[in-house]
Amino acid sequence: MLVDPLSWANDFKLCGGKKQSPIDIVTANMIHIPNMSPLVFTGTPSGGCTLINTGHAVQCTLDPTFSYSVTGGPFSYNYRLGQFHVHFGSDATKGSEHRLNGRAFAAEVHFVFYNSDMYLSVADAADNANGLAVIGGLVDLHAKHHNEFDKIANNAQYVKYAGDTHYIANFDVSKLMPHHHYYATYAGSLTTPTCDESVTWVVLNNHIHATDAQLNKLRTQVYTGDAIDPGVLMVNNFRPAQPLNARRVFFN
Ligand SMILES: [Zn+2]
């Protein structure tokens, strides 16, 4: 477990950089670009993925045959989806990495795309400029449960410990990702060490709606350690908001 984000920069120099993520998105300070082009998705949004407890997040790593890409918007390249993962809190007052006008959300799903014009995988792209595009979906509580989020919540029991995996035969990313017409975008970083500043972030205006019961399946069943040394519940696996410094956040 990556305990104490405040000390990451001691061991990982890039974590002390000037373009770190996440941030608090302050709407009054954003720059409006009304004609910013829409995000364009190509390929098939559904396929198999392997749910994995990474010790820091619950992640679904897409099968190599799962081909779903994004371009347009702020992107100058094609970016292919490699994995998505969830940050979540111990209760609904916290959990998201990005904040909106100071407010945290119950969870946040990160859809991690890599620059497929230049690189072969997320790992290959992660330490290169323009290497990654991450689309963030903030999770807000709702009375009605989310069918696609169920595939993560209901399978959390199979990935209790770090390194555990469970195959999901058919996941439809387009059903989990919120409507993507309106968004905020800025230049940032990975939110875990090594904190490379290689990420074009897009945080969608629309939210993912899930129930407290769905989130409880993650909150109560998933640990940061392995079966022998389980560590602690994975809850609150979010990095605090980082300084914006000279950056600007754009919106359409
Ligand atoms: Zn993340």
- Per-residue pLDDT reduced to its tens digit, 45-70: 999 999 999 999 999 999 999 999 99
CA–CA gap between residue 51 and residue 235 (Å, rounded): 17
Q: Using the mean position of ligand 1's atoms as its centre, give its distance from the Cα of residue 87 in Å.
A: 6
Q: Using the mean position of ligand 1's atoms as its centre, give its distance from the Cα of residue 66 in Å.
A: 20
pLDDT at 4: 85
Tokens of 227: 């079966």
Q: Using the mean position of ligand 1's atoms as its centre, give its distance from the Cα of residue 59 in Å.
A: 9
What is the Cβ-side half-sphere exposure of residue 215, based on CA atoms within 13 angstroms?
29
- CB contact at 8 A, 233 and 90: yes
Ion ligand 1 contact residues with beta carbon within 5 A: 110
What is the Cβ-side half-sphere exposure of residue 93, based on CA atoms within 13 angstroms?
0
Place 3 in a pLDDT band, splitting at 50, 70 and 90. Answer: confident
Q: Using the mean position of ligand 1's atoms as its centre, give its distance from the Cα of residue 123 in Å.
A: 14
CA–CA gap between residue 227 and residue 53 (Å, rounded): 12
Domain architecture of the chain: domains with CATH: 5-251 (3.10.200.10)
User: Is-catalytic flag, 56?
Assistant: yes
Catalytic position from the list 56, 142, 166, 209: 56
**Number of neighbouring beta carbons within 10 Å of residue 213:** 9
Q: For residue range 192-231, what is the model confidence (pLDDT) as tens digits?
A: 999 999 999 999 999 999 999 999 999 999 999 999 999 9
CA–CA gap between residue 108 and residue 207 (Å, rounded): 9
CA–CA gap between residue 22 and residue 179 (Å, rounded): 21
Q: For residue range 77-117, what is the model confidence (pLDDT) as tens digits?
A: 999 999 999 999 999 999 999 999 999 999 999 999 999 99
**Number of neighbouring beta carbons within 10 Å of residue 229:** 10
Q: For residue range 14-38, what is the model confidence (pLDDT) as tens digits?
A: 999 999 999 999 999 999 999 999 9
- CB contact at 8 A, 88 and 100: no
Q: For residue range 145-157, what is the model confidence (pLDDT) as tens digits?
A: 999 999 999 999 9
pLDDT at 38: 94
Q: Using the mean position of ligand 1's atoms as its centre, give its distance from the Cα of residue 85 in Å.
A: 6
Between the alpha carbon of residue 189 and those of residues 60, 113, 185, 220, 245, the distances in Å are 20, 13, 12, 29, 13
Extract the runs of DSSP E, i.e. beta strands, from 45-162. Answer: 46-53, 58-62, 68-72, 79-88, 99-100, 107-115, 132-141
Q: Using the mean position of ligand 1's atoms as its centre, give its distance from the Cα of residue 54 in Å.
A: 11
Q: What pairing do the DSSP bridges indicate for beta strands 68-72 and 208-210?
A: unpaired
The pTM score is 0.98
